[in-house]
Structure 1
Amino acid sequence: MAVVILYGSEGGTSELVADNIADVLGDYGDTSLYDMMEFDAGDLDPENFHVIVCSTYGEGELPTGAEPFFEGLEEDEPDLTGMQFALFGLGDKVYEETYNRGGEIMAEKLISLGAVQVGEHGRHDGSSSVRPKDQAEEWAKNIGEEFLG
């Protein structure tokens, strides 16, 4: 099973995190990495395992980098029955009500199209002293062992 990692970013942190996740999951087989700005929602393949890395922007919205992909999901409504995905979100607990909402919005859309979210929803807090890439690497190790190993 191939692993497809998709990231949606505003300032670039999601891309860096996705790179680290790709390094970890590369131990489990073919891994590819795509910017959501450049990935067609119709190309999602339920035969692949997907990892979504998504930040939160503004007042709990998707980052600009995730909007075209999300709009494609809304317009095309691909049948994602049987597709498994794991999600790592980035946010800041300073914004309690919208903390990591970007990732939640993406997960809700994928689930509504038949996909199944697996594993722990990784949530990095930008206010913490933990570097996002370090938390993402630990999260990815768990995902790899549990679902790809």
Structure 2
Amino acid sequence: MSVVILYGTETGNCELVADAISDVLAVDHDPSIYDMGEFAVEDLDPADFLVVVCSTYGEGELPTGAEPFAEELDEVAPDLTRLRFAVFGLGDTVYGETFNRGGEIIAEKLTGRGAVQVGEHARHDNSSPVKPATQATEWAEGIAGVIVPVNAR
């Protein structure tokens, strides 16, 4: 099954995380990686599994790279009822209530259009000693099993 990995980033960390996730999922799937800012909402295909990698910027906002995709989700308002997705968020607990809000915003927009979030919503903490790509590799190993299409179970 095809896996689409979309990343929204301000500094580039999400792209590195997307690469780490892709490396794990490539064993059993066919991952493609796209910058969220360059991916058209019309290209979301419910036959694919979507992985979202998104950082948080400023005071709990989306990073610049994710804004066009989020705005297009609102404007186009696609029916995503058969789309399944998982989220890996990046943030820093020093920001308290807005920690990892970027990934949550995208998840809310997708579920608001009917998509179903599966697996653990990963939340990397930049204040921790764990590198984002290390946590992403472990997380991807955990979600690999939920990527199986619903009709194949």
TM-score normalised over the length of structure 2? 0.95
| Match in the other structure for 1:113 | 113
Shift of 1:37: 1.1
Alignment of 1:48-63 (within 5 A): 48-63=48-63
Amino acid at match of 1:64: T
2:107 pairs with 1:102? no
SS of aligned partner of 2:123: strand
SS of aligned partner of 1:54: strand
Give, in whole Å, the separation in 1 of the partners of 2:132 and 2:81. Answer: 31
Shift of 1:146: 3.5
SS of aligned partner of 1:18: helix
Q: Which runs of 5+ in 1 are unaligned?
A: none
The C-alpha deviation readout for 1:99-138, integer Å capped at 9, x for no partner, is 0000000000000000000000000000000000000000
Give, in whole Å, the separation in 1 of the partners of 2:145 and 2:81. Answer: 23
C-alpha contact (below 8 Å) 2:118/2:146 kept by paired residues: no
Give, in whole Å, the separation in 1 of the partners of 2:83 and 2:32. Answer: 16
SS of aligned partner of 2:47: coil
Amino acid at match of 1:77: A
Give, in whole Å, the separation in 2 of the partners of 1:72 and 1:102. Answer: 16
Q: Which runs of 5+ in 2 are unaligned?
A: none
Cα RMSD after superposing both structures: 1.1
Shift of 1:145: 2.6
Amino acid at match of 1:52: V
Report the identity percentage: 65
C-alpha contact (below 8 Å) 1:3/1:48 kept by paired residues: yes
| Match in the other structure for 1:36 | 36
